Amino acid sequence: MRNPYRSLMRSVGHTQWFSDLGKDLVAIDRAVQKSTRGKVSLVGNGTVPQLLLTVTGRRSGQSQTTPLLYAPDEGSFVVVGSNWGQTAHPQWTYNLIADQRATVSIKGVKTPVLAELAEGALRKRLWALATDVWPAYTTYADRAYSREIQVSVSLLSCSPPEP
């Protein structure tokens, strides 16, 4: 069955105004998802697969949680450091490069993961998965100009989800 809200989101995802608004709403969406354990999101449940990624800040040492879209891949979670097409990488990617250990939470179920920065053929394959889930990533890549988007930090589950 066709989901009109999903179609609308996938369409407006390419627009600059959506990216500008999205950057500002991430903090609000983070709070909404955190308080509902990932069960409610501003993007809309069922629109695109979403997770909460919790990493350790490389400078602060504190836990930092970011809502992200993801593409499933054979038991892994593929996330993209698009930063809405900005020229700088998002902070969570730097944190994962410093410490690959993280936690993914999907609808309240937490899974410890290890991150792997995808390169070469793996990057190409995971980019295709990610853009199938969120086609606007191609637009974000065009906007990023001077940087190659850190595609597909592939989050590999290192143990079963906690109950």
pLDDT at 34: 72
Residue 132 CB neighbours (<10 A): 10
Domain boundaries, the chain: 4-157
pLDDT at 74: 85
Q: By C-alpha distance, which of 69, 40, 48 is closest to 6? A: 48
Per-residue pLDDT of the chain (163 residues; tens, 9 = 90+): 567 666 666 666 666 666 666 666 666 776 777 787 767 776 655 677 888 899 999 999 999 998 888 999 988 899 998 887 778 888 898 999 899 999 998 888 899 998 988 888 888 899 899 999 888 888 888 887 666 656 555 665 443 333 3
pLDDT at 45: 57
pLDDT at 161: 36
What is the sign of the dihedral through the CA atoms of 113, 147, 48 and 54? positive
Q: How large is the C-alpha radius of gyration of the chain?
A: 15
pLDDT at 119: 82
The shares of helix, strand and coil residues in the chain, as percent rounded to the nearest 5, are: 35, 30, 35
The pTM of this model reads 0.75
For the stretch 67-70, contacts whose Cβ atoms lie closer than 8 Å and that sit 24 or more positions apart, written own/partner, are 67/26, 67/29, 67/30, 67/33, 67/41, 68/92, 69/43, 69/130, 69/133, 69/134, 70/104, 70/133, 70/155
pLDDT at 18: 66
Amino acid identity at 68: L
- Name the CATH architecture for the domain at 4-157: Roll (2.30)
Chain centre to alpha carbon of residue 70: 5
pLDDT at 46: 62
